[in-house]
Amino acid sequence: MDSRNGSVSETPLDAEIESFFDSAPPLKDSAGIIKKLKEFIEYNSTPPGVSCIDRSVNAGKGSPRRVVCVTSGGTTVPLEQRCVRYIDNFSSGHRGATSTEYFIKAGYAVIFLYRRGTFQPYCQSLPEDPLLECFECSEDSTIQVRQPHTEAVKRAVSDHHALTVTMSQLRISGLLQAIAGGHLLKLPFTTIFEYLQILQSIAMSMKDLGSLAVFYLAAAVSDFYVPWKSMAEHKIQSASGPLDMRLVQVPKMLSALKKEWAPMAFCISFKLETDSKILLEKAEMALKKYRMHMVVANELSTRKEEVTVVTGNEKILVCRDKTQADSDVEEPLIELIVGRHSAYVKDSDL
């Protein structure tokens, strides 16, 4: 029994993974997160034109929406329980946020699991401090959008509100199913503990979607951590001299995800290296070892220009359209993924 999710595992998680979850501090508002996930998935897996309440009666009237979990940003590893210091993993969140926009455009509902403070979908053309730079106070004390930012603010606000409208808002407005919102659920994390616990809850919630579920794991996940129980409670004192600390390996959750949490889902993991000579070899290894459907290989310095998608029998180079100044590599990447996922869904239906 997995007590955190209140669900039963068919096979026990392997010892390393079990020990990670056992030693993790309890996730704040775990019940609230699971409730949000349940409502979001129920809403989006109800075929259009069918009331959520009558779902079982009306099943089969249309196609349920595909749901993708996009992870984004880097996880932190706290060094103290009352955390003052932590080890961070590099990721601006650009890949995850931009990919989310293309998945939504392709008709998917997105669960966006993101690191607090990183890039957000629909906000990328806004300046760094939108509140102070985009708005001004007029003489009659009303707040106005300043001219150069009008279009960017309009787009960010309208797309954000249309997509992230909450389930309770939908119910109150009585427009459940009738409006185009409710296709983006954002869940924030900071630490490796939060990230993996929420990812597990998402995967368990998406299990019944079968092949309609996709995992797009673009977050930069810590490889080493300090187990909660062996972590200092208070701020580590520098007066005690040099710091000698043992970090334990974070178990790769990709195998648990594939084997137990959501076995029918279409899974895409990422491989990041700074040495291009080992990149493709490592991506191929990950594809086989974790039985991923695709591994997106990227090198740190060129990650915004090109990626190589490694599948069972291909290596596909995907590049940004360099003839267009504002093009991005995520557009052709998501197009490729959507095509492969469609073929996978079709095969699974046979």
Under 8 Å between Cβ of 92 and 115: no
- The least distance separating ligand PMT from the CB of residue 321, rounded to whole angstroms, comes to 18
Q: Which of 293, 303, 320, 341 binds ligand PMT (CB under 6 A)?
A: 303
Across the strands, what pairs with 143?
137
Q: Indicate whether 218 belongs to the interface with ligand PMT (CB under 6 A).
A: yes
By beta-carbon proximity to ligand PMT, the closer residue of 252 and 291 is 252
Contact assessment for residue 21 and residue 200, using Cβ atoms and an 8 Å cutoff: yes
Q: How far is the CB of 130 from ligand PMT (least distance, A)?
A: 19
Nearer to ligand PMT, 212 or 272 (CB): 272
Q: Is 191 in the site for ligand PMT (CB under 6 A)?
A: no
**Binding residues for ligand PMT restricted to 221-260, rule: CB under 6 A:** 221, 223, 250, 252-254
Q: In angstroms, what is the minimal distance from the CB of 298 to ligand PMT? A: 5
Shortest spacing between CB 91 and ligand PMT, in angstroms = 4
CB of 132 to ligand PMT, least distance (A): 24
How large is the C-alpha radius of gyration of the chain?
A: 21
Which of the stretches 32-40, 200-208, 216-224, 338-346 binds ligand PMT when contact is defined by CB under 6 A? Answer: 216-224
283: contact with ligand PMT by CB under 6 A: no
- What residues have CB less than 8 Å from 1, skipping those under 6 apart? 7, 8, 9
270 binds ligand PMT (CB under 6 A): yes
Q: Which residues 77-96 are close enough to bind ligand PMT by CB under 6 A?
A: 91-95
Shortest spacing between CB 45 and ligand PMT, in angstroms: 25
Interhelix angle 192-206/30-44, rounded to 10 degrees, is 40
Alpha carbon distance 209, 214 (integer Å): 9
CA-closest candidate to residue 222, choices 25, 17, 76, 72: 76
Among 13-21, 202-210, 265-273, 327-335, the segment contacting ligand PMT (CB under 6 A): 265-273
Question: Side chain identity at 144, as an amino acid letter?
Answer: Q
Considering beta carbons, is residue 121 or 182 the nearer one to ligand PMT?
121
- Does the footprint of ligand PMT cover residue 262 (CB under 6 A)? no
Asked whether position 16 contacts ligand PMT by CB under 6 A, the answer is: no
Number of residues that bind ligand PMT (CB under 6 A): 21
Q: How far apart are CA 257 and CA 269, in angstroms?
A: 11
Binding site for ligand PMT (CB under 6 A): 91-95, 217-221, 223, 250, 252-254, 269-272, 298, 303
